[in-house]
Amino acid sequence: MKVKICGLTNYDDAALALELGADILGFVLAPSPRRVEPAQAARILARLRAEGRLAGRETVGVFVNEAPEAMAAAMAETGLDFAQVHGDEAPADCAALSFPWYRALRIASPEDAGRASDWDCGRILVDALSASGYGGTGLRVDFVAALAARDAVREAGKEFFLAGGITPHNVFEIVRSVSPDGIDLSSGVEERPGRKSPDKLEHLFSEIRRTREEPKDE
């Protein structure tokens, strides 16, 4: 299972996430309390690359209802590996993008999970539908909806990532009950928006190790 730490705004948090075991670093390039400018993300990534910290890791930029040309320019400036398309974009709009991307789907019910097959990408990230924002809300996906989404995403031949309300305190139970291919955390490991908590990050990765080491109940 892959672990994505998102909403990063500074080098220290990104470096610590990698040191503890993060597979994917996420940078929000959309309106948000965690927003970073492309130039800022580029500086952080350049330093991490120069230090050899990004070998075998993935970097992602989060975009919400952004023009394709602006997305392409930000991807080129930062050198990010993937765009996470997290707004109200249509499948045809995404299919025309000229850089690697995957789709974030905000769902509220099991019926929403059927949209997974609409997207021509290799990964679907499922987040909770919230009226307060497009992500980082701390709202958890309904369990039944998460299972329906997992099955629909895998039936479509895609990786299933789960986001929304995951914290060090519930990650063991979520991973054991849903078995996602990856998880995405932002607010769940923060001291405040845009600043990660070292203690919460350490607790998170300790719990993730526990999910891998402890036998499952029969």
pLDDT-based confidence at residue 116 (cuts at 50, 70, 90)? confident
pLDDT, residue 132, reads: 54
pLDDT-based confidence at residue 63 (cuts at 50, 70, 90)? very high
Residue 105 inside a domain? The answer is yes
Mean pLDDT of 2-6: 98
127 in active site: yes
- Give yes or no for residue 133 having a pLDDT over 70: no
Residue 120 inside a domain? The answer is yes
Residue 58 inside a domain? The answer is yes
Q: Where are the beta strands (DSSP E) in 73-185?
A: 82-85, 101-107, 123-128, 159-163, 182-185
Which residue range is the domain that position 169 belongs to? Answer: 2-212
Mean pLDDT of 132-146: 73
Residue 98 inside a domain? The answer is yes
Active-site residue identified among 13, 127, 142, 184: 127
199 in active site: no
The total domain count for the chain is 1
Q: What are 192-202's pLDDT values in tens digits?
A: 999 999 999 99
Mean pLDDT of 67-86: 96
Residue 218 inside a domain? The answer is no
Active-site residue identified among 6, 121, 142, 184: 6
Domain with 32 in it: what CATH number? Answer: 3.20.20.70
Residue 156 inside a domain? The answer is yes
pLDDT, residue 98, reads: 94
Give buried/exposed letters for 131-166 (b at 16+ CB in 10 A, else e). eeebbbbbbbbbeebbbbbbebbeebebbbbbbbbb
H-run or E-run covering 205: helix 198-213
Percentage of the residues of the chain whose pLDDT score is greater than 90: 80
Percentage of the residues of the chain whose pLDDT score is greater than 70: 95
